[in-house]
A and B are shown apart, each in its own frame.
Chain A
Amino acid sequence: MIIIGERINGMFRDIAKAIREKDPAPVQEWARKQEEMGAGYLDINVGPAVSDRVDAMRWLVEVTQEASKLPLCLDSTDYDAIEAGLEVCKRPAMINSVPAIQEKMDRVFTLAGKYDAEVIGLAMSEEGIPKDSDSRIALAMELVANCDAYGVPVQNLYIDPLVLPCNVGQDHGPEVFETLRQVKLMADPPPKTTVGLSNISQGTKNRELINRTFAVMAMACGLDSAIADACDEELIAAVATARIILNMDIYCDGYVDVFKNQNK
């Protein structure tokens, strides 16, 4: 599972302050730290409180790239901000995200084609998040069909089945796993999959334990990546172990360190 490091997000106070004051230091420190911990992408989110999202996104992308070579995952519902970010990205990025709503898909898949970007597609529509896996899968199929129609390779699409907190939407858990399994049968080559991992544990008291338990269960169902806390050492160790058990990496006694040090 590839970790999309979640820490450069204006929801966090230090990042919000950095954006406000145009101080690159905290952003770059998190970029380096997440890369060192083995993140494969860095999520970039300007947060809710910014007045000019386009400008903030462009600045965040630029300063992050000065500190890290990792590809970026541009996280916004404002597609003008995403495009501004894509314009200054030095290597192909990921767009986070698009729901199965036609005019949004039209805009995002056009951008993906233009900037050779990957796309996270959310299994939700105007009506919100479906309850069962069948409806999630139907929406995922719409995303796959649109992706293909716009000439974006299907393996550049990451389907997010959408995870709800396990203390609120407990019945969603099995539906998410079933969706992950079914998505892999949709096309050849199949789309990839992702989740916002910390959602599963929102409002609970055992956040890290729930996060890593969910992560390894989802990996067994075909989860390729997750937006997650790259600095959660126990999570990284659990992911490294799941990769061994799923025969994705070759075992050696030091496999956890090998996984952690993959960017070094």
Chain B
Amino acid sequence: MAVEILKEKYRGQVREVVLGAAKDKGGTRSHTVKIGGETTLPFLHFEGNIPNRPVVAMEVWDIVPEGWPESLKSNFEDVYDDPAAWAKKCVEEYGADLIAVRFMSADPDGQDASPDDCIPTLKKVLEAVGVPLIIYGCGKSEKDNLLIGPLGEAGAGENLLLGVAEQDNFKPVASAAMANGHTVIAQSPIDINIAKQLNVLISELSTPLLDRIVIDPTVAALGYGIEYSYSIMERARFGALQGDRMLAMPFIANIGGEVWSKREAFVPHEEEATWGEQPERSMMWEATTAMALLQAGADLLVMRHPRAVELTKQNIDELMKDNSY
């Protein structure tokens, strides 16, 4: 007897978001990257369309990173002091689909670099690679609010993905995106209601921005509450597929920063004998976190270790194979 495959029919669709702009749209990227557009849950090709494969961005800092373990650091040793060369290496050697530049030099407790200090770095990275860019500040919102406007202006027309808009601080990023044709990362603290409300607030500022939002639901690393991230992402995606326009945006998952700040990434073998060797274990921690979040619906992963990126991209290849019947 033939088995009847049950298929769910959804009336909604995740919005398709374009990252980067090539010459025809006023940018200088060699190509653009599309994410989102799903009409079903992750990788259920038999049920709906997954028109765009998930992509991986690699992180580049504008200062030599402090506190990265040697096993991670050694992959970039020759390019650390040159963000443009670092970005180029990530794209050409390690296959990064996008580059996420973190302007850590702006940290007021560190170098306290000014927007004018940061702009040349942005321009150099734009010249060095053709892939679309993600732009993050130093993570301290008071300073980042001053930084994002000038950086957005310096990259006008490039359709940068600008981080991060938050519920009580969304205007600087949203305004920079509106003014210069960029896209917004809307970040919420593992809270679906805030994720939705933030999109409502951004759309009240500018309705067309609704098609230029990527949701950062705040992901946790494996072992640090990843199941909460998973639940939030799954519920938001169900909402999107059932027609909730205010949650129908693709997801960005900030994996590298979460994983590489956790004990499992650092602690040497001698201290935790049952955990396995630190270099392999930490890399696998990042790859496994990424693979779990792909299943939750992540469309854009921000990662650090080249081997973890490679494994994740292999996993994406497998998951994107047609399973319709």
Q: Which residues of A are interface residues toward B (Cβ below 8 A)?
A: 249-254, 257-258, 262, 264
Contacts and interface: CB of A to CB of B under 8 A. Distances in A.
Interface in B188-207: 192-194, 196-197, 200-201, 207
Contacts of A251: 193, 196
Nearest to A254: B200
B237 to A, nearest CB: 11
B197 A253 contact: yes
Residues of B in contact with A, size category:
10 to 19
Given A258-B246, A262-B245, A250 B200 contact: no
A252 B245 contact: no
Contact of B197 (A249, A254, A262): A254
A250 B197 contact: no
26 contacts: A249-B239, A249-B244, A250-B192, A250-B193, A250-B196, A250-B235, A250-B236, A250-B239, A250-B247, A251-B193, A251-B196, A252-B193, A252-B194, A252-B196, A252-B197, A252-B200, A252-B246, A253-B197, A254-B197, A254-B201, A257-B200, A258-B196, A258-B200, A258-B246, A262-B245, A264-B207
Contacts of A249: 239, 244
A258 B236 CA distance: 15
B141 to A, nearest CB: 21
Contacts of A254: 197, 200-201
B245 A253 contact: no
Contacts, number: 30
B209 to A, nearest CB: 14
Contacts of B196: 250-252, 258
Nearest to A262: B245
Nearest to A258: B246
Contacts of B193: 250-253
Interface centre among B196, B235, B239 (most CB of A within 10 A): B196
Nearest to A257: B200
B188 to A, nearest CB: 10
Contacts of B247: 250
A251 B197 CA distance: 9
Nearest to A264: B207
| 6 residue pairs, one from A and one from B, having the closest CB atoms | A252-B196, A252-B197, A254-B200, A250-B239, A253-B197, A251-B193
Contacts of A258: 196, 200, 246
A254 B193 CA distance: 10
